[in-house]
Amino acid sequence: MSHRFSIKEIAHQAGLSTATIDRVINRRPGVRRQTANRVHAAIRELEAQEAQLAMSGRKLMIDLLVEAPQAFLDALQSALRQELPLIQTAIFRARSDLRARFPTEALVAGLERAGRLKSDGVILMAPDTAPIRAAVARLAASAVPVVTLATDMPGSARAGYAGLDNRLTGETAAWLMCRLIAGQTAPHILVTQRNDAFRGEAERAEGFRAAMARDRPDAAITLLVQGKAGADFATQVAERSHQSPPAGLYSIGGSNRALVQAFARHGLPRPAMIGHDLDPENRALLADEALDAVLYHELTDDIRHALQVFLSVHSQGAVPMPENGTPLRVILPPMMAGPARSEA
């Protein structure tokens, strides 16, 4: 049996005598299969620990390419500042290119630049399009792992995904909405998205609509996408609501304060509203009870997940891959005690 550890090391790891280890390694008779399995497991553990130690102190440079609203980008920067110093297995540094609007050509160029610079990993939040998938495949072929953030690209060459189960998140929003509009007959529900090219937003909308169709088949669902509606999206949402005032609004794409204000300007009652992300705007709206619920997840969890994927790839599996899925949290107005109220 080939190994590079001393009998004493293996005995200590397995909790067995050196004589027993000697019998197993040299295949001597009189050893139970269970004992032999225990010795082999100890050797595998030592090999994994050795690989992890080899990562200790290694410097890894990662790149972030993210298209998202400014509030999300601010929260992401904060999560990075919190998480990077806490990783003890290796020393991570980050180059960030974070934009509210990120043209496809610029995203592809950023991914190609990460490849030329031999990045140790890329955290990517971008629309699921053919040019971006192709750029991710080229990085994977160059041994640069990519982790998609918040919105996934299933079936692509990415190494992992850090974020919520978006379809389940939409189903959770539907469960909440059904309780917020209980007692209303044939309600009209609006669903708003920022951009339908982002798979994560589309999956939330799909999960919401499927669950509403199952649990409230009398509800009429209207989907509005900001990317197709021009600049003053909130005003257009309110104007369209005159025809059929909504009982509920599932705001996937944000701009919740603007939506609340637009309903007020048009003399419309505010619908039951569910939003995403616990940014300062949504905190204030919850405190004012101008927003009924917020679904969110800790970005620090996502960053930690992505970093562990990179460690697993670079340690050739000695650092285990993280389990998929980030915990979903639901925040309601009574949970927002303390913040000063502000006009919605």
pLDDT for 83 equals: 86
- With a cut of 60, say whether residue 109 has pLDDT above it: yes
Q: Which fold has domain 166-296?
A: Rossmann fold (3.40.50)
Give the pLDDT of residue 341: 45
Range(s) within the chain of domains with CATH label 1.10.260: 7-54
Q: What are phi and psi of 221, to 5 degrees?
A: -110, 130
DSSP 100-159: SS--HHHHHHHHHHHHHTT-SEEEEE----HHHHHHHHHHHHTT--EEEESS--TTSS-S
Residue 121 has pLDDT above 60, yes or no: yes
Instruction: Choose between 339 and 51: higher pLDDT.
Output: 51
Q: Are 331 and 276 in contact (CB under 8 A)?
A: no
Q: What pLDDT is attached to residue 223?
A: 86
With a cut of 90, say whether residue 149 has pLDDT above it: yes
Higher pLDDT, 249 or 1: 249
Is 7-54 a CATH 1.10.260 domain? Answer: yes
Q: What is the mean pLDDT of residues 148-163?
A: 92
Q: How many CA atoms lie within 13 A of 195 on its CB side?
A: 16
Q: How many CB atoms lie within 10 A of CB 85?
A: 10
Position 230 scores a pLDDT of 46
pLDDT of amino acid 71: 84
The whole-number average pLDDT for the span 207-220 is 94
DSSP letters for 227-273: GGT-S-HHHHHHHHHTTS--SEEEESS--HHHHHHHHHHTTPPPPEE
In this prediction, residue 269 has a pLDDT band, given cuts at 50, 70 and 90, of: confident
Reported pTM: 0.76
Residue 144's alpha-carbon distances to 33, 38, 160, 163, 247, in angstroms, are 42, 36, 12, 20, 47
Mean pLDDT, the chain, integer:
84
The reported pLDDT for the residue numbered 213 is 95
CB atoms within 10 A of CB 15: 8
What lies within 8 Å, CB to CB, of 334 at 6+ separation is none
Q: Where in the chain is the domain with CATH 3.40.50.2300?
A: 57-163+298-327, 166-296
pLDDT computed for residue 227 by the predictor: 65
Q: Say how far residue 30 (Cα) sits from the centre of its chain.
A: 52
Instruction: Specify the DSSP element, H or E, that contains 200.
Output: helix 199-215
Span 33-43, average pLDDT: 84
Range from 40-49, 50-59, 255-264 carrying the lowest mean pLDDT: 50-59
pLDDT higher than 50, residue 339:
no
| 19-29 pLDDT tens trace | 888 888 888 88
Lowest mean pLDDT among 31-45, 139-153, 261-275: 31-45
Considering the domain 57-163+298-327 in this protein, what is its CATH number? 3.40.50.2300
The pLDDT value recorded for residue 138 is: 96
Eight-state DSSP code of residue 293? E
pLDDT of residue 51 exceeding 60, the answer is no
Mean pLDDT of the region 283-310: 91
Query: What value does the mean pLDDT take over residues 23-50?
Result: 79
How many CB atoms are located within 10 Å of the residue 281 CB? Answer: 19
- CA distances for 177 relative to 133, 216, 263, 293, 337, angstroms: 35, 10, 19, 9, 23
pLDDT of 246 strictly over 70? yes
Q: Mean pLDDT throughout 289-317?
A: 89
Segment 62-78, tens digit of pLDDT: 889 998 888 888 888 88
Percent residues over pLDDT 70 in the chain: 91
252 within 8 A of 174, measured Cβ to Cβ: no
User: Using 50, 70 and 90 to split pLDDT, how confident is the model at 49?
Assistant: low
Of 331, 310, 101, 97, residue with least CA distance to 198: 101
What Å distances lie between residue 120 and 90, 92, 179, CA to CA?
12, 9, 46
Task: Say which DSSP state 57 is in.
Answer: T
pLDDT attached to residue 57: 62
Could you report the per-residue pLDDT of 225-239, keeping only the tens digit for each? Answer: 776 544 587 777 777
In sequence order, which residues have a C-beta less than 8 Å from that of residue 20 and are 6 or more positions away? 11, 31, 35, 39
Question: Pick the residue with more confidence: 26 or 125?
Answer: 125
Residues 314/156, Cβ–Cβ less than 8 Å: no
Mean pLDDT for the stretch of residues 130-136: 95
